[in-house]
Amino acid sequence: MSMVIEKARQALLKYPLCDHCLGRLFASRGFMMSNEERGRSIKNVLFMEALNSSSGTYDEALLLALARSGHRESLMFLRRIGRDIKPQVCFICGGLFDRINLGAIVAKVKELINTSGIEFSSLQVGSTVSRAIIDNEVKVSTELGITSSESIKRELNRIIGKALVTELGRQYSRSNPDVIVKVNAMDGSVSVEVMPIYVEARYRKLLRGIPQVGGNSLARVVSEFMSQLKPASTVIHVAGVEGPEVRVLGSGRPMVIEVDRPLNRRIPAMGGVLNGVQLFDIKLANKSRVREIKSRAGELRRIYRVLVKLQGSASEEQFKSLEDYFTNRQVTQLVGRERRVRLVYRLRVRPVSGGVVELIVDSQGGFSVRRFINGEGTEPSIPGVLGLGAVPIEIDILNIAG
Ligand SMILES: [Zn+2]
């Protein structure tokens, strides 16, 4: 007797199991076969094993076990020899597969979708069953040392998923669904969870006085841009931080926008300027991009333009030697408790008027240009090398790589 058949025999002698639950114990065996078909086939083979027609004997215990598990031919055979056996409810699922009403589940999902107006093209099913079912399932597998089984949730997800995909005309997605249809298999109740979408974009801040988050902020403008998707909320994940007074120009700064529970999933052709913020290079991304752009923020080389008020006067020669000094120069900054070492690749100084100079600073990412200029926690710094106090008046980011 094969391993599958022997294990199945042991299982049925111990527990009444429906075709689904028996078949599921051997789910990794076979091909293009539902668990129900597999379970039924196994019961048929066991029935043949139980009846030895050449000798005219039969294995009564096995026939009783099969009949108890609802095997029709076993029930009929036993009835013919005067044994009227009542099938018992499945030890694992308690008859769940007979009770489950796919039509009603599909109808409820349809209604939910229609009333809420959710747009989606792919779905996944997440079903729940009682704790007792899970426990019984594990009990049977472990007692019999079966490692080929599949979980009941997986089978339910597949059966319900198939029905929904056919009825709704959408795709099933295991890895990246637009919605997750949650089904409580015990009472047939359903809910639809809309998955977030991730939109990658770059922004320019053309005006000063715009913080990244808070009132009248970049985040506020972004949520305005995203309102066409009708989300519950939006969150921005920005590659780096700039102060409210810092403009971001040139190539802009990258960010990922997390759009939570959008009713509409088509990214509109956005762009344009709103409250001094411009979004561009907008494209669909995925969740992993959030971590990527955040972790890379410190590496993104950037160019600043800073207007600086010097507290005293300096000569052209001093400016020239300042530029020479800050060529590929390592600068150490204390930011909170963190000691950061960053490279200043290049510095250009252009006197404007009345002690005001314009600096162009080309540096590594994660570098505080403000501290570099006022000298706070920075070594070497502009005031340190120049021997003059310096105050940044205006800061613009001209370019951020990456
Ligand atoms: Zn069952």
The answer to whether the CB of 156 falls within 8 A of the CB of 105 is no
231-240: pLDDT as tens digits? 999 999 998 8
Element (H, E) at 290: helix 288-296
CA distance 251 to 376: 28
Separation of 49 CA from ligand 1 center, angstroms?
Answer: 23
Separation of 99 CA from ligand 1 center, angstroms?
Answer: 11
Separation of 190 CA from ligand 1 center, angstroms?
Answer: 22
Per-residue pLDDT band at 401 (split at 50, 70, 90) = confident
Separation of 97 CA from ligand 1 center, angstroms?
Answer: 7
Neighbours of ion ligand 1 (CB under 5 A): 18, 21, 90, 92-93
Q: What is the largest CA-CA distance in the chain?
A: 116
Separation of 10 CA from ligand 1 center, angstroms?
Answer: 16
Separation of 138 CA from ligand 1 center, angstroms?
Answer: 13
Q: Does the predicted TM-score (pTM) go above 0.85?
A: no
Mean model confidence pLDDT for the chain:
93
Per-residue pLDDT band at 1 (split at 50, 70, 90) = low
For residue 366, what pLDDT is reported?
Answer: 85
Query: Smallest Cα–Cα separation from 83: which of 111, 107, 58, 101?
Result: 58
Separation of 26 CA from ligand 1 center, angstroms?
Answer: 14
Separation of 98 CA from ligand 1 center, angstroms?
Answer: 9
219-268: pLDDT as tens digits? 999 999 999 999 999 999 998 888 899 999 999 999 999 999 999 998 87
Separation of 21 CA from ligand 1 center, angstroms?
Answer: 4
Separation of 91 CA from ligand 1 center, angstroms?
Answer: 7
The CATH classification number of 300-400 equals: 3.30.70.3190
CA distance 372 to 325: 14
Separation of 20 CA from ligand 1 center, angstroms?
Answer: 6
CA distance 370 to 364: 14
Per-residue pLDDT band at 71 (split at 50, 70, 90) = very high
Is residue 304 scored above 90 in pLDDT?
Answer: yes
Nearest 5°: phi and psi at 30? 95, 175
Strand partners, 123: 172, 179
Separation of 19 CA from ligand 1 center, angstroms?
Answer: 7
Separation of 22 CA from ligand 1 center, angstroms?
Answer: 7
Q: Which residues contact 144 (CB under 8 A, 6 or more apart)?
A: 7, 10, 11, 25
For 169, how many CA atoms within 13 A lie in the half-sphere containing its CB? 1
Is residue 119 scored above 90 in pLDDT?
Answer: yes
The CATH classification number of 197-298 equals: 3.30.70.2510
For 328, how many CA atoms within 13 A lie in the half-sphere containing its CB? 0
Separation of 25 CA from ligand 1 center, angstroms?
Answer: 11
Separation of 36 CA from ligand 1 center, angstroms?
Answer: 10
For residue 270, what pLDDT is reported?
Answer: 64
Average pLDDT over residues 275-298: 89
Separation of 137 CA from ligand 1 center, angstroms?
Answer: 9
Q: How many residues in total does the chain contain? A: 402
Read off the tokens for 170. Answer: 């959408």
**Where are the domain boundaries for CATH 3.30.70.2510 in the chain?**
197-298
Q: Which residues contact 20 (CB under 8 A, 6 or more apart)?
A: 35, 36, 39, 90, 93, 97, 155
Separation of 30 CA from ligand 1 center, angstroms?
Answer: 19
CA distance 109 to 165: 11
Separation of 16 CA from ligand 1 center, angstroms?
Answer: 8
CA 156 to chain centre: 23
**Where are the domain boundaries for CATH 3.30.70.3190 in the chain?**
300-400
Separation of 266 CA from ligand 1 center, angstroms?
Answer: 42
Separation of 162 CA from ligand 1 center, angstroms?
Answer: 19
Separation of 363 CA from ligand 1 center, angstroms?
Answer: 66
- For 214: left if phi > 0, alpha if psi spans -120 to 50, otherwise beta; the answer is left
Per-residue pLDDT band at 402 (split at 50, 70, 90) = low
DSSP state string for 239-264: SS---TT-EEEEEEEEEEEEEES-S-
Separation of 281 CA from ligand 1 center, angstroms?
Answer: 53
Read off the tokens for 155. Answer: 């089978």
CA distance 151 to 129: 11
Terminal Cα distance for the chain, rounded: 64
Query: Smallest Cα–Cα separation from 18: which of 78, 93, 128?
Result: 93
163-220: pLDDT as tens digits? 999 999 999 999 999 999 999 999 999 999 999 999 999 999 999 999 999 888 999 9
Average pLDDT over residues 363-374: 92
Per-residue pLDDT band at 46 (split at 50, 70, 90) = very high
Strand partners, 41: none
CA distance 150 to 320: 74
Separation of 83 CA from ligand 1 center, angstroms?
Answer: 24
For residue 28, what pLDDT is reported?
Answer: 83
Taking residue 62's Cβ as centre, other Cβ atoms within 10 Å add up to: 18
Separation of 140 CA from ligand 1 center, angstroms?
Answer: 12
Is residue 72 scored above 60 in pLDDT?
Answer: yes
Is residue 395 scored above 80 in pLDDT?
Answer: yes
CA 350 to chain centre: 48
- For 336: left if phi > 0, alpha if psi spans -120 to 50, otherwise beta; the answer is left
CA distance 229 to 199: 11
For residue 55, what pLDDT is reported?
Answer: 76
CATH topology of domain 100-193: THUMP fold (3.30.2300)
CA distance 333 to 342: 8
Average pLDDT over residues 132-136: 97
Per-residue pLDDT band at 296 (split at 50, 70, 90) = confident
How large a percentage of the chain has pLDDT more than 90?
Answer: 83
Separation of 176 CA from ligand 1 center, angstroms?
Answer: 30
Taking residue 192's Cβ as centre, other Cβ atoms within 10 Å add up to: 16
Average pLDDT over residues 347-352: 96
Separation of 93 CA from ligand 1 center, angstroms?
Answer: 4
The answer to whether the CB of 255 falls within 8 A of the CB of 239 is yes
CA distance 197 to 234: 10
